[in-house]
Amino acid sequence: MSDIIQLLPDHVANQIAAGEVVQRPASVVKELLENAIDAGSDSIKLIIKDAGKTLVQVIDNGKGMSTTDARLSFERHATSKIKTAEDLFQLNTKGFRGEALASIAAIAHVELKTKQENDDVGNAIIIEGSNVVSQDVVVTPKGTSVSVKNLFFNIPARRNFLKSNVVELRHVIDEFHRVALAHPDISFALYNNGNEAFNLPISNYRQRIVNIFGNKTNEKLVPVEEDTEVLKISGFVGKPEFAKKSRGEQYFFVNNRFIKSAYLNHAISSAFDGLLKTGTHASYFLNLTVNPLTIDINIHPTKTEIKFDDEHTLYALLRSAVKHSLGQFNIAPVLDFDRDANLDTPYDYTKNSKVSTPTIEVDRSFNPFQEETNAPTKAVSYKKEPATSWESLYVGLESKSTKNEEDFSEVHFESQESTGSIFDEDTQVEQANTTYQLHNKYIVSTIKSGMLVIDQNRAHQRILYEDFLKNMTIKEAATQQLLFPLQLHFSIQEIEIINQLKDDLEHTGFIFSEVTNDSLDITGVPVGVPESEVSIILEQLISDVENEVPDSNFSATDLLAKSMAKSLAIKTGQSLQKDEQEHLVNKLFACKEPNASPTNRTTFVTMSVDELDKKFI
């Protein structure tokens, strides 16, 4: 039998490696930004077009590359970061695999321009699908510029898996945020389709967070500082009252490298135990500094997962540090109501701080046995008022009570006559019988064939969903004007999502008077929507758009209707009056599809008399 094992060609091996390293345009952004940081840059520009599908370009002012290095950088396993296997456990750089540029060049059109500081001219290399098209001398400023065009041009199947521009742009911005937050000592700029989206100057860590997420973020931050032999923690956590429904603002950095860790995230959640509302997540921006020998970052192709030698110790230290900060800044509740705030230890107190000795002042002329002869004594007399009979307090109330009963004896309630049945014959509710609420979750009523059990939350979602869809379709939604404009603050990315859905929101009844980069003013809301629920609705909507958009064929109108119905629906555990229960039942069976909620979950079940009889056999 002939030999069947053979070595893969380089261009095929590179495409296979690209499947691990490059999943979407955001992966290219991450690799190029990290290379620019490793080059010692202090100013980096990111330019993207069509969410990175057409162009991803990173320009830095780093040290650049020589002619030989520029050519070798596109070879597999070519790197300047490590030389021996031991170097893997002493990494202080971002990239080290030597696969990024080779993988990117295998599936895109790449143009690299680079020049070192002492050179008169630079080098330009053009590669298309691992094939070097040209390498020439070029005039270019100090540093490196890498342009990645037409991503996945030679792998159309992979390109078809990409989501819409809205979703891909969100992933690109997420990667940009992760790199920019880890390096506040570097200035970053992001240009999307020719428009400047972010311009982040060199600043401290707090100011970098504010520049990314908006000015209102400053008042939401609580500093966290802890320095031990095992772990050094620095950064900020968000106050509990500003917790969000999404996990968007959660960032862990280990030795200036963004990571994801469900275990460490649980430590933060544990520190906030009892402070967060159900379904909300705390924000945090934490930098963890550990000995490189105690971590292994070579366990995942994207390097976003890290293995720690002693996770349990890190968990305890992180949880303790966050709890300490929340307590020091009076965020956490205190049960000692007689506590004197003046006795609290200042947060910035250290053992090296100078302590001033308290002084004691004594009145040496005071004699407790000396009689006060100078001060004339005055006899104090109290005039006792005649006791008032307690019965006099209730004089006249009996007549008033009788009068009130007479006033309300002829109150009539308006009601509309039923013009027809809105139920099918099988599910027609017997109007003579009342409804019952079970465990503040289900509404039970009788029908001709037996019993009807309705999930109040899902049923109300269906009712609201169809109402919102109708309003957005006919564009005739009713609006209630607010007495004072409602100003809400969001990040730049969240404002962009709201702008995309602004027209549909206005068709549901919202009125926006002004929308800026980090805030929006609302002067009108849909009828029946409380003012206090507006921010919750918009946060839920943003979360749904970020997490539940399936592809470019989704309907923004449908998504908006589902999100608003989910936010405003009657919650499980809410007690309903008899008329509210009956109204909910009637409205549900007036819907076009009463059998399922907007998320295609069952809204009610029926149980016939025969089925009940079988239970007693």
Using one digit for the tens of pLDDT, what is the confidence trace for 115-129? 998 888 999 999 988
Distances (CA, A) of 290 to 94, 174, 254, 263, 602: 16, 25, 7, 17, 50
221-227/232-238 β-pairing? antiparallel
Task: Please provide the distance, in angstroms rounded to a whole number, between the alpha carbons at the two ends of the chain.
Answer: 72
What burial class does residue 363 get, using C-beta atoms within 10 Å of its C-beta: 0-12 exposed, 13-18 middle, 19+ buried?
A: exposed
CATH class for the domain made up of 436-606: alpha beta
Distance CA 440, CA 458 (A): 13
pLDDT at 20: 60
Residues of the chain with CATH 3.30.230.10: 208-328
The H or E element spanning position 11 is helix 10-21
Is residue 329 pLDDT above 90, yes or no? no
Is residue 188 pLDDT above 90, yes or no? yes
Cβ–Cβ < 8 Å for 606, 452: yes
What's the CA dihedral at 287, 292, 298, 300 to 10 degrees?
-20
pLDDT at 54: 92
Mean pLDDT of 578-594: 89
pLDDT at 412: 57
Instruction: Report which DSSP code applies to 93.
Output: S
Most confident range (mean pLDDT) of 92-96, 249-253, 400-404, 479-483 is 249-253
250-254/284-289 β-pairing? parallel
CB atoms within 10 A of CB 113: 21
Residues of the chain with CATH 3.30.565.10: 10-202
Sheet of 143-149: strand order equals 131-138, 122-128, 109-115, 143-149, 55-60, 43-49, 187-192, 195-200
Q: Specify the amino acid at residue 472.
A: M
Identify the band that residue 153 occupies on the pLDDT scale cut at 50, 70 and 90: confident
Is residue 88 pLDDT above 90, yes or no? no
Mean pLDDT of the residues in the chain: 80
Distance CA 405, CA 393 (A): 21
Q: What is the pLDDT of residues 219-272, one digit of tens each?
A: 889 999 999 888 899 999 999 888 887 777 899 999 888 888 888 899 999 999
Most confident range (mean pLDDT) of 59-68, 161-170, 510-519 is 59-68
Is residue 589 pLDDT above 70, yes or no? yes
pLDDT at 345: 59
Per-residue burial over 235-260, b if 16 or more Cβ lie within 10 Å, else e, is: bbbbbbebbbbbebbbbbbbbbbbbe
CB atoms within 10 A of CB 118: 7
Residue 533: both structure tokens together: 């629920």
3-state secondary structure of 289: strand
Name the one residue in this structure whose structure tokens are 């997490």.
547
pLDDT at 355: 66
Distance CA 446, CA 299 (A): 60
Q: What is the pLDDT of residues 342-360, one digit of tens each?
A: 666 555 555 566 667 777 8
Instruction: Report which DSSP code applies to 377.
Output: P
Residue 72: both structure tokens together: 């070798």
CB atoms within 10 A of CB 486: 17
Q: Which of 109, 11, 117, 15 is nearest to 63 (CA)?
A: 117
pLDDT at 16: 65
What's the CA dihedral at 456, 461, 464, 466 to 10 degrees?
-120
pLDDT at 490: 83
Looking at per-residue pLDDT, the higher value among 371 and 156 belongs to 156
Find the range with the poorest average confidence among 96-105, 163-172, 553-562.
Answer: 553-562
Mean pLDDT of 202-221: 90
Is residue 369 pLDDT above 90, yes or no? no
Looking at per-residue pLDDT, the higher value among 161 and 146 belongs to 146
CATH (residue range 208-328): 3.30.230.10
pLDDT at 342: 62
Is residue 518 pLDDT above 90, yes or no? no
Is residue 148 pLDDT above 90, yes or no? yes
What size, in residues, is the chain?
A: 617
Identify the band that residue 92 occupies on the pLDDT scale cut at 50, 70 and 90: low
Cβ–Cβ < 8 Å for 509, 479: yes
Is residue 509 pLDDT above 60, yes or no? yes
**Non-local CB neighbours of 533 within 8 Å, separated by 6+ positions:** 567, 568
Sheet of 232-238: strand order equals 221-227, 232-238, 284-289, 250-254, 257-259
Q: Specify the amino acid at residue 549.
A: V
Distance CA 226, CA 286 (A): 11
Return the CATH superfamily for domain 10-202: Histidine kinase-like ATPase, C-terminal domain (3.30.565.10)
- Chain centre distance of CA 100: 29
Residues of the chain with CATH 3.30.1370.100: 436-606
pLDDT at 553: 44
Is residue 171 pLDDT above 70, yes or no? yes
Name the one residue in this structure whose structure tokens are 């109402």.
467
CA atoms 569, 573, 574, 579: torsion sign: positive
- Chain centre distance of CA 374: 74
Distance CA 597, CA 570 (A): 13
Mean pLDDT of 278-296: 86
**Non-local CB neighbours of 346 within 8 Å, separated by 6+ positions:** none
Q: What is the DSSP track for 512-526?
A: EEEE-SSEEEEEEEE
Distance CA 1, CA 117 (A): 59
pLDDT at 571: 86
Task: Specify the pTM.
Answer: 0.68
pLDDT at 25: 92
511-515/195-200 β-pairing? unpaired
The H or E element spanning position 234 is strand 232-238
Distance CA 559, CA 247 (A): 20
Looking at per-residue pLDDT, the higher value among 451 and 433 belongs to 451
Is residue 43 pLDDT above 60, yes or no? yes
pLDDT at 349: 57
Q: If DSSP states are collapsed to H, E and C, what string results for 157-226? A: HHHHCCCCHHHHHHHHHHHHHHHHHHCCCCEEEEEECCEEEEEECCCCHHHHHHHHHCHHHHHHEEEEEE
Distances (CA, A) of 305 to 24, 81, 261, 605: 18, 19, 7, 45
Identify the band that residue 79 occupies on the pLDDT scale cut at 50, 70 and 90: low
pLDDT at 430: 47
Q: Which of 161, 173, 219 is nearest to 200 (CA)?
A: 173
Strands of 1-108, DSSP E: 43-49, 55-60
Identify the band that residue 394 occupies on the pLDDT scale cut at 50, 70 and 90: low
CB atoms within 10 A of CB 528: 12
pLDDT at 95: 58
Q: Percentage of the chain surpassing pLDDT 70?
A: 76
Mean pLDDT of 419-435: 51
